[in-house]
């Protein structure tokens, strides 16, 4: 593999001078674009040396994502983004490989560093700008600007860095649909595993237990590959270790399942197979102590060999005594082997592996799970039919036992019907559970829109609601008013009475503001800290000022009683009203209302200021 990597690197260097990385342009029709035209280099040791180095010395990659195989050196990636719009935009850079140990993103504007983000494994989210299973970074691009992005990527088990630039709404829409689909497929494989384990509990057939264990680990493997595990796992290295370990454990479990399904006769091939699997299992027990790269290479080298041996021995069994369960097992082995071959091609750098191309792995995994389920169910039915046939033969031989055998068959039939009924009931319970999970997910989504301290809406809800109301205002040509409010001298309250009392003041302010809003469409949200924002659709400026004064007066006359202490406080407000013209720039409403609020805070507090601020008012104050 190292030889292949070196040859690919030499070919890349030879053709690097013939192509140049294209600039990514953002225009009105921009939704997303894969960044397949980049410069990359292993030479820089810091961002300063990366900026100072000549791009002619960098290697050029065009028309395909970056896949350097099992390369362990840190790689520096550079590309340019051009904003052709008249407004500032905030696209999202998606690094579609969650299995990276460290990613550093530097955003340069006019050769000066505008921002830098350091992502040390996806679960460590305090520095990551957006929480998601891939690595996401929000970039701020001024109007009519050319900006450069430099990315440093380090990983212990190979470098595969597919990059995509997204418009935020398009990304979230795409990821919501994709995650829902993959989640349902993983849930289906998981439910199949649970069903097999339930069947084992009732039938005590070991092949149900082996199938349940294989499909269960297969669903966990898909869960890790999709990146969902980073919600819980605190290290990308842990996931990089778990994936090959799960693959090898699944491979080992195929042996007892094959023994149950094929029931091979004692021949040399199967004796050798047992010895190979015993050694393989012993190595697995200690291989996890080695570095992740060693574990991955061991898995990718040995697993296809073991699976190939499984395929050969299964073919021998089919040749001797063909049956549908054996053919279904062969299909499952081939499907799993195809997925492993795909991983080998990906890790070796011959093909890029991204979440958008994980469909092939899902197809192979679903084919494997379906085939295993069909194999054991068909085997169960054949064994049951064989038992029935044996009983019927006994009935034909002894007429005296007809009544007894008939009673036994009726009893077996009733047991079978009861088993099928129980399976149907369990399946129905699983469906009900899935519906309950969907309802819980909707409840969690609703909780994500609320501020846990005050019970009112949070800033995330306000940002979405503001965009909706801007569209309505422009469509219906009605005024939209925004009131920004801030508790006066809140730091003094916190320093004097403590943070618990400060929290009670914030809750009291939120409840008072909410009581002053009479219309269902009026919304109040906590904007941050002690700052609140009120959204008033179809409201004239005079009405907005009146509501702001009403809120200010209500808070000024309302005291907070905490632990025998009475606290009085005031609030300042800034008001802005306008008919929306540019729905792509919702920040203009909050910025202007905030300017009025800032004026109120700087000139006496406990007052309402309307934007724009007249010069006469400024001089009088």
Query: Strand, coil or helix: what is 136?
Result: strand
Token readout for 154 is 């380090």
- Distance of alpha carbon 518 from alpha carbon 528, whole angstroms: 23
- Distance of alpha carbon 523 from alpha carbon 521, whole angstroms: 6
Write the burial class of residue 445 (CB in 10 Å: 0-12 exposed, 13-18 middle, 19+ buried): exposed
Helix ranges (H only) for 517-606 are 541-556, 587-602
Gap between the terminal Cα atoms of the chain: 76
H/E element holding 75?
A: strand 75-83
Helix ranges (H only) for 449-586 are 459-476, 490-497, 499-516, 541-556
Token readout for 573 is 């407000």
Q: Nearest-CA neighbor of 346 among 447, 433, 225? A: 225
H/E element holding 531?
A: strand 531-537
Whether the CB-CB separation of 371 and 326 falls below 8 Å is answered with no
- Cα–Cα distances (Å) from 603 to 547, 597, 599, 609, in that order, read 21, 10, 6, 10
Query: Strand, coil or helix: what is 65?
Result: coil
- Distance of alpha carbon 58 from alpha carbon 37, whole angstroms: 13
The DSSP annotation for 169-208 comes to HHHHHHHHHHHHHHHHHHHHHHHHHHHHHHHHHHH--HHH
591 in active site: no
Q: Which residues, listed in sequence order, are joined to residue 138 by a DSSP beta bridge?
A: 92
H/E element holding 376?
A: helix 359-397
Whether the CB-CB separation of 505 and 567 falls below 8 Å is answered with yes
Residue 382 DSSP symbol: H
Q: In terms of DSSP bridges, do strands 523-528 and 531-537 run parallel, antiparallel, or are they unpaired?
A: antiparallel
- Distance of alpha carbon 80 from alpha carbon 260, whole angstroms: 59
Q: Nearest-CA neighbor of 305 among 262, 272, 351, 265? A: 272
Token readout for 3 is 């030889």
State the catalytic residue, choosing from 443, 530, 531, 587: 530
Residues forming the active site: 530
């Amino acid at each position: 593999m190292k030889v292949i990597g070196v040859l690919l690197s030499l070919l890349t260097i030879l053709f690097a001078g013939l192509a140049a990385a294209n600039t990514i342009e953002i225009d009105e029709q921009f939704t997303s674009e894969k960044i397949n035209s980049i410069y990359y280099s292993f030479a820089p040791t810091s961002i300063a040396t990366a900026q100072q180095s000549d791009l002619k010395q960098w290697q050029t990659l065009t028309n395909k994502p970056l896949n350097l195989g099992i390369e362990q050196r840190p790689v520096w990636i550079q590309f340019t983004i051009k904003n052709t719009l008249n407004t500032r935009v905030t696209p999202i850079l998606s690094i579609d490989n969650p299995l990276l140990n460290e990613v550093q993103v530097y955003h340069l504007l006019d050769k000066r560093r505008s921002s830098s983000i350091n992502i040390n494994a996806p679960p460590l989210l305090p520095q990551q700008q957006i929480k998601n299973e891939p690595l996401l970074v929000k970039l701020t691009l001024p109007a009519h600007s050319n900006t450069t992005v430099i990315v440093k990527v380090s990983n212990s088990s190979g470098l595969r860095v597919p990059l995509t630039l997204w418009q935020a709404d398009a990304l979230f829409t795409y990821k919501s649909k994709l995650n829902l689909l993959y989640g349902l497929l993983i849930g289906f494989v998981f439910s199949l595993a649970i069903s097999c384990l339930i069947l084992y509990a009732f039938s005590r057939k070991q092949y149900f237990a082996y199938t349940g264990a294989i499909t269960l680990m297969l669903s966990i493997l898909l869960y890790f590959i999709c990146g969902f595990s980073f919600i819980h796992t605190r290290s990308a290295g842990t996931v990089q270790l778990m994936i090959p370990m799960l693959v090898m454990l699944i491979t080992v479990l195929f042996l007892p399942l094959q023994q149950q399904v094929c029931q091979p006769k004692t021949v040399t091939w199967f004796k050798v197979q047992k010895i190979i699997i015993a050694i393989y299992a012993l190595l697995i027990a200690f291989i996890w102590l080695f570095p992740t790269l060693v574990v991955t290479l061991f898995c990718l080298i040995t697993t296809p060999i073991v699976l190939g041996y499984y395929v050969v021995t299964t073919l021998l069994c089919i040749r001797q005594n063909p049956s549908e369960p054996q053919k279904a097992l062969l299909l499952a082995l081939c499907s799993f082997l195809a997925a492993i071959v795909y991983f080998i091609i990906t890790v070796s750098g011959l093909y890029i592996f991204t979440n958008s191309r994980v469909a092939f792995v899902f197809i192979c995994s679903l084919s494997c799970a379906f085939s295993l389920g069909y194999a054991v169910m068909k085997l169960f039915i054949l064994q049951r039919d064989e038992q029935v046939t044996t009983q019927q033969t006994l009935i034909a031989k002894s007429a005296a036992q007809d009544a007894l055998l008939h009673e036994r068959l009726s009893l077996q039939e009733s047991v079978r019907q009861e088993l099928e009924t129980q399976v149907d009931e369990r399946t129905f319970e699983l469906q009900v559970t899935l519906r309950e999970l969907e309802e819980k997910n909707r409840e969690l989504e609703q909780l994500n829109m609320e501020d846990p301290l005050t019970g009112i809406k949070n800033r995330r809800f306000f940002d979405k609601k503001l965009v909706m109301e801007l569209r309505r205002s422009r469509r219906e040509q009605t005024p939209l008013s925004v009131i920004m409010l801030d508790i006066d001298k809140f730091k003094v309250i916190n320093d004097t009475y403590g943070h618990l009392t400060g929290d009670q003041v914030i809750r009291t302010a939120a409840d008072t503001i909410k009581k002053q809003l009479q219309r269902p469409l009026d919304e109040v949200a906590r904007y941050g800290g002690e700052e609140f924002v009120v959204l008033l659709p179809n409201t004239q400026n005079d009405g907005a000022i009146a509501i702001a004064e009403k809120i200010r007066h209500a808070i000024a006359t309302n005291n907070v009683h905490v632990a025998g202490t009475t606290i009085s406080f005031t609030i300042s407000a800034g008001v802005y009203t306008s008919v929306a013209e540019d729905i792509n720039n919702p920040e203009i409403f909050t910025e202007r209302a905030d300017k009025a609020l800032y004026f109120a805070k700087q000139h006496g507090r406990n007052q309402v200021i309307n934007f724009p601020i007249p010069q006469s008012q400024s001089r009088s104050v």
